[in-house]
Structures are given as C-alpha cells and as structure tokens.
Structure 1
Amino acid sequence: MEFQFTIIVPVYNEIESLPRLFEYLQKYLKSASLRSCVLLVDDGSSDGSASAIEKFCLDHDDFNCLLFDKNYGKGAALKAAFDYTKTPLLGYLDADLQTHPEDFELLFPYIEDYGLVTGWRKNRKDTLVKRISSKTGNAVRIFFTKDNIHDTGCPLKIMHTAYAKKIPMFKGLQRFLPAMILLQQKEIKEVVINHYPRIEGQSKYNFKNRFLGPLLDCFAYVWIKKSYIDYSLKAKHG
C-alpha cells in the first residue's frame, strides 16, 4: 500500500527535541487515518541533529531525510521537501513539538474542499514577547497578503502536494503558504488546534526575525503576486 500523506519536519539544531519528536511521530504513524510517512529536513545543523536524523531514518522505513550542506533557512527546507514529496498530500510540523502530529486529524476532514488547511493556535503557550512579536508580524502579513488568517505562522498545515510544488522559492516561504495557495485560486481553511509550551531546546526566533524579516519578505511577496504565472490545461494530447 502506497503512502498517502507526507509529514515534513524542518530541523535546525534540535538535538534535544529529537528523541521525543521521533517518539511522537512513530506513535502517530500507527494511528493516522491516512497511510503516512515522515520527511525530516536538516537545515545545516551544527549540534549533531543531522547524524541523529540519518541514523534514525536508516532504521525506519517510513522515515526519510534530506540533509543540507549548510544552513539555508526554513523556506529552503520546505521548498526542498515539497520538491521531493511524492504523496498526494503533505503536511508541515515544527520539530519543537509545540504542535503535535495527532492534530493533523483535525485538519484532514476539510482538505478535500480546500487547497490548504492550517491550524490556529488560539490559546498560545508562548512567552509574552513571542506572542506580541508573532501577533505584530501576523498583522503586517495580513495587510500585504489579505489572506485574513489569524495565525499565518502556525507550523501545522496540510495541503495538496500539486499546489505546494507550484509555490515559487523565496526566503521566508513558510510565512506565506496560505497566501501562495490563494494565488493559485484555491480556497484555504483555518482550524483551531492545540498548542504546547516548548520543553527542550531554544527558540530560534526573536523580534528581529519575527517582525523585521517578515516585513521585508512582504515586499517580495507583493512582487511575486504581481508577477506570478499560473495556468490550467483544458486538454492534453500526445
């Protein structure tokens, strides 16, 4: 039986989180409503994460990995994973486990009718600074993208792989997934999910990369929106 759903997990210096991540993913794969596999993308980690991921994947048939030669950023990790994925559906999960894989089950009922279904961390379990910076960054993105998503940065999403593969490569890609699906004239859906405090490791985000970086990325998005090419075939012969 072929896999139907690929769970993409970008990883950057998360060696402390990996044992629990592997445990939670293995547990979910046994109960998932769709036959699922995992694709871990190490984004040039320097703490041993890449070696741990490679070893684990060699021992587990439903786990695969891509290992970058240096740190390219989460947008690059996601784009590489989109290009590599072969299943009809794919999902995105952060390695810090502030969202849990079982909540993909909350999104699956809607994916047939939408291009992308994303989580909404309505009850955030983050520090005050992180919540404020995320809320500010989200407001800026909504101003530019008009996607009207409460929680654009939520790291739990599912989408049709065919649409994901048509998203152009750019830094900060992860912040604009709903907007990029809207560019393809597909509808998006937001569903309330659970959110958990970070237990291991350190957050890679601060006010600078949650606000200033996304602000610059918004201008890139405006250019892409103006220049984006999309098409559908009426027929194909030969």
Structure 2
Amino acid sequence: MTNDFTIIVPVYNEQDCLPQLFVQLKEYIQKASLKTKVLLVDDGSTDASPTMIKEFCSKNEGFGYLLFEKNFGKGAALKAAFDHTDTAFLGYLDADLQTYPEDFEKLLPFLGEYDLVTGWRKERKDTLVKRISSKVGNGVRNLFTKDFMHDTGCPLKVMKTEYAVNMPMFKGLQRFLPAMVLLQNGKINEVEIPHYPRLAGKSKYNFRNRFMGPLLDCFAYVWMKKSYINYKVAEKNE
C-alpha cells in the first residue's frame, strides 16, 4: 500500500527532544487514519541530532531524512521537504514536543473541503513574553497577508502537496503558509488544538527573530505577492 500522508519535521539542535519525538511519531503512524510516513529535515544542527536521526531512520521503516550541510533556516527546511514529498497530503510538525502528532487527526478530516488546515493554539503554554511577542507578530502578519488566522505560525498544519510544491521559497516561509495557499486561490481553515509546555531542549526564539525578523519577512511577502505568477491551462494539444 502506498503512503498518502507525509509528516515533515524540521530539526535544529533538538537532541533532548528527539527520543520522545521518535516514540510519539512511531506510535502515531501505526494508528493514523491515513497511510503515513515521516521526513525529518535536520537544519545544520551542531549537537547530536543528525546522528540520532540517521540511526533511528536506519532502524525504522517509514522514516526518512534530509541533512543540510549548514543552518539555512526553517523556511528552507520546509521547502526542501516539500520538494521531496511524493504523497498527496503532507503535514508539518515542530520537533520541540509542544504539539503532538496525534493532533493531526483533528485537522485531516477537513482536507476534503480545504487545501490547508492549520492548528490554533488557543491556550498557549509559553512564557508571557513569548505569548505577547507571538500575538503582536501574528497581528502584524495579518495586516500584510489578510489571511485572518488567529495563529498563522502554529507548527501543526496539514495541506495538499500540490499547493506546497508551488510555493516560492523565501526566508520565513513557515510564517506565511496559509497566505501562500490563498495566493493560489486555495481554501484554508483553522482548528483549535492543544498546546504543551516545552519539557526539554531550549527555545530558538527571541524578540529579534520572533518580531523583527517576521516584520522584515512581511515586506518580502508583499513584494512576492505582487510578482507571483499563478495560471491554469484551459486546453492543450497532445
């Protein structure tokens, strides 16, 4: 039986989270509603993450990996994974264990009607500073993108692969996935999901990369939106 769903997991220096993440992913793909495989993308980690990923994937069917030669950023990791996905549907999950693979089941039922479904971490389990900066950043993005998502940066999403592969790559891509689907005249939806406190590893975010970086990315998005080419062929001869 061929796979229908690929879970993409970008990883950057998450050696403390990986053992439990592997357990959760392995348990989930055994009971998932779709035939599922996993693609782990290491974004130039400097800890033991690449070695752990290679060892785990070599021993477990349904798990594959991409290893970057250096750190290129989460947007690049996602784009590389999109380009290496061969299933009709894909999902995106962070490696920090603050969202769980089992919650894909809350999103997948909506993929018939919608082209992207994103989670909404309504009850955040982050520090006050992180919650405030995320709320401000999300509000700024909404001003630019008009996707009107409560939590566009939620690291738990599912989408139809045909929309993912048509997204142009740019820094900060992960913050604009709903908007990028709207650019292709796709339909998006938001579903409330649980959020969990980080129990291992360290957050990679601070004020600069949670607010200032995304703000600059918004200007890149506006330029890209004006230049974006979207066409459909009505007829062709064979």
- Residue number in structure 2 paired with 1:103: 103
- Residue number in structure 1 paired with 2:88: 88
Describe the SS at the equivalent of 1:157.
Answer: strand
Once residues 205 and 86 of structure 1 are traced to their aligned partners in structure 2, the CA distance between those partners, rounded to angstroms, is 31
What does 1:214-233 correspond to in 2, within 5 Å? Answer: 214-233=214-233
How many residues align? The count is 238
- Residue number in structure 2 paired with 1:130: 130
Once residues 232 and 123 of structure 2 are traced to their aligned partners in structure 1, the CA distance between those partners, rounded to angstroms, is 39
Q: Deviations over 1:130-170 (max 9, x none)?
A: 00010010000000000000001100000000100000000
- Residue number in structure 2 paired with 1:185: 185
Once residues 237 and 173 of structure 1 are traced to their aligned partners in structure 2, the CA distance between those partners, rounded to angstroms, is 36
RMSD over aligned CA atoms reads 0.6
Once residues 56 and 235 of structure 1 are traced to their aligned partners in structure 2, the CA distance between those partners, rounded to angstroms, is 47
Tell me the CA shift for residue 237 of structure 1. Answer: 3.4
Tell me the CA shift for residue 231 of structure 1. Answer: 1.1
Amino acid at match of 2:175: R
How high is the TM-score relative to the length of structure 2? 0.99
Tell me the CA shift for residue 109 of structure 1. Answer: 1.1
Verify: 1:9 aligned to 2:1, yes or no. Answer: no
Verify: 1:121 aligned to 2:138, yes or no. Answer: no
Tell me the CA shift for residue 48 of structure 1. Answer: 1.1
Amino acid at match of 1:85: T
Query: What are structure 2's unaligned runs of at least 5 residues?
Result: none
How high is the TM-score relative to the length of structure 1? 0.99
- Residue number in structure 2 paired with 1:54: 54
Amino acid at match of 2:50: A
Residue identity (%): 67
- Residue number in structure 2 paired with 1:35: 35
Tell me the CA shift for residue 9 of structure 1. Answer: 0.1
- Residue number in structure 1 paired with 2:155: 155
Once residues 198 and 101 of structure 1 are traced to their aligned partners in structure 2, the CA distance between those partners, rounded to angstroms, is 15
- Residue number in structure 1 paired with 2:201: 201
Amino acid at match of 1:112: G
Once residues 112 and 43 of structure 1 are traced to their aligned partners in structure 2, the CA distance between those partners, rounded to angstroms, is 32
Tell me the CA shift for residue 171 of structure 1. Answer: 0.4
User: Which ranges of 4 or more aligned residues in structure 1 deviate by more than 3 Å?
Assistant: none
Once residues 53 and 232 of structure 1 are traced to their aligned partners in structure 2, the CA distance between those partners, rounded to angstroms, is 40
Once residues 215 and 159 of structure 1 are traced to their aligned partners in structure 2, the CA distance between those partners, rounded to angstroms, is 25
Q: Deviations over 1:183-215 (max 9, x none)?
A: 000110000001000010000001110000000
Query: What are structure 1's unaligned runs of at least 5 residues?
Result: none
Once residues 14 and 31 of structure 1 are traced to their aligned partners in structure 2, the CA distance between those partners, rounded to angstroms, is 25
- Residue number in structure 2 paired with 1:143: 143
- Residue number in structure 1 paired with 2:70: 70
Once residues 44 and 51 of structure 2 are traced to their aligned partners in structure 1, the CA distance between those partners, rounded to angstroms, is 11
Once residues 146 and 109 of structure 1 are traced to their aligned partners in structure 2, the CA distance between those partners, rounded to angstroms, is 25
Describe the SS at the equivalent of 1:153.
Answer: coil
Amino acid at match of 1:9: V
Amino acid at match of 1:101: P
